[in-house]
Amino acid sequence: MSRRRVLLTAAAPLTAALTAITLIVAAPAGAATQLTLLDKTSVSSLTGDEGVATVSTASGTTVRYRGVASIPLSLLFQGWTHIGDPDAHAGYFVDAYQGSSTRTSKMFRVSTPDGHAYKYVHQLVAGELYNNSFAAISPDGQWLVAGEWNTMTHLQVYPMPILNPLTPPTGGGLNLAGYITLDRPVNDVQGCDFVTDTTLLCSSDDSSRTLWPDDKPFLEVDLAAPLTGSDTPGQVIDLGPIPQRSACSGSYEAEGIDYDPASSQLRVEMIPPGVCGVVTDVYRYRAG
C-alpha cells in the first residue's frame, strides 16, 4: 500500500469554519476519489434529514431531500414508518422504506418521469435485517443497490424496478439478484451513490474507527467489475471524516449522500447535535 494525499480538501474562499484540511490516509495508489469541499448549506430536518438525490429530467435538474415529513400518510398507515436515502436515474426516483423491526419485508417506491408511483416489496431472506437504509441505482439503470444497518460484509443488489425487464412494470415483488461482497466489514452505512459503474461513495455513521475515532467516514467501494446481477467483490477504502461543524456540542449523525454526474458534485448530510438538529447540514463537494 502507498499513501495518498489530498483526499479531502477545502476550496477557497469558504468561511473560517471550513478552512482547508489535507488528510493523508492509507489507500492503493490511484484508487481513491478526491473530494474538494465547496460549501455548506442547511435544510429542515423534517423534510431533509434522511437523504438527498439529484433528479434530471427534460425540464431541468432539481435536488430533492427526504425526511420523516416526506412519507405520504397512506404509506404511514400501511406501516412504512421510515424513509431512507433515495436515488434517481433518467427521471425515475427510488425511495427506500422500512417498517418496524418485526416486519418481514421492506419496500422500494419508484416514481416515474410521467408522475406515476409503484411499490416494489422485497420479502426478507434468511439472515437479512429489516433495515432499508438507502437506494443507489447503477449508471446503466439496470441494478439497484441497498443496505442494511449495523456491521455488514455485503451490500444488496436487486434488479432496478421498471427499467430492468426482470421486474414487473407496475409494482409487485422484488427479489435479490446478488450481493456486493466487501473485503472488510462496514458499520452503519446511511447512503451510497455511484460515481462510476465500478465506484460507489458512501456515508457511514460509524463512530468506532481507530484512524479517526468519533468521526463519521466517507467510504469508497471499488467494484471488481460493473454489476451484472451476480455477486461482485468490492474493496472498501476509508476517505476520511465527514465534517462536524456546529454551535452545539454532542453526538452528530451522518445521513444521506448524492452524486450528480452532470456537475461532478457530491452532497452529504450531517445532523448536528442537540437543538441544532432542527436543521440538517449539507456539505457540497467537487468529486474527481
**Is residue 76 within 8 Å of residue 69, measured between CB atoms?**
no
| CATH code, 168 | 2.120.10
Contact between 42 and 279 (Cβ < 8 Å): yes
Identify the residue whose cell numbers are 489535507.
Answer: 22
pTM of the prediction? Answer: 0.90
**CA 77 to the chain's CA centroid:** 26
Q: How far apart are the first and last CA of the chain?
A: 21
Question: Among 255, 270, 257, 177, which residue's Cα sits nearest to residue 221?
Answer: 257
pLDDT at 5: 30
Strand 279-287, strand 35-44: pairing = antiparallel
Q: Total structural domains in the chain?
A: 1
What is the residue-wise DSSP string for the chain? -EEEE-SEEEPSS--GGG-----EEEE-TTTSPPEEEEEEEEEEHHHHSSEEEEEEETTEEEEEEE-GGGS-HHHHHTT--EE-B-EEETTEEEEEEE--TT-SEEEEEEE-TTS-EEEEEEEPPTT--S---BEEE-TTSSEEEE--SSEEEEEEEEEPTTTSTTS-TT-EE----EEEEEEEEEE-EEEEEEEETTEEEEEE-----SSSTTPPEEEEEEESS---SS-EEEEEEEEEEPP---SS-S--EEEEEEEETTTTEEEEEEEPSGGGGGEEEEEEEEE-
Q: What is the pLDDT of residue 87?
A: 98
Only one residue has cell 419508484, namely: 110
In this prediction, residue 212 carries a pLDDT of 63
13 cis-preceded (ω within 30 degrees of 0) = yes
Residue 208 has what pLDDT?
78
CB 141 within 8 A of CB 199: no
Q: What are the CA-CA distances from residue 14 to residues 11, 20, 33, 118, 282 (Å)?
A: 7, 9, 22, 42, 14
Determine the pLDDT at residue 1: 32
Q: Kind of pairing, strands 117-123 and 172-173?
A: parallel
pLDDT of amino acid 32: 82
pLDDT at 61: 92
* Host domain of residue 63: 2-287
State the pLDDT at residue 59.
83
pLDDT digit of tens for each residue in the chain (288 aa)?
322 333 455 554 444 344 333 333 334 444 588 999 999 999 999 999 999 999 988 888 999 999 999 999 999 999 999 999 999 999 999 999 999 999 999 999 999 999 999 999 999 999 999 999 999 999 999 999 999 999 999 999 999 999 999 999 999 999 999 999 999 999 999 999 999 999 999 999 997 776 666 789 999 999 999 999 999 999 999 999 999 999 999 999 999 999 999 999 999 999 999 999 999 999 999 998
* Angle subtended at Cα 71 by Cα 67 and Cα 76, rounded to the nearest 5 degrees: 135
Decide if 32 contacts 242 (C-beta within 8 A): no
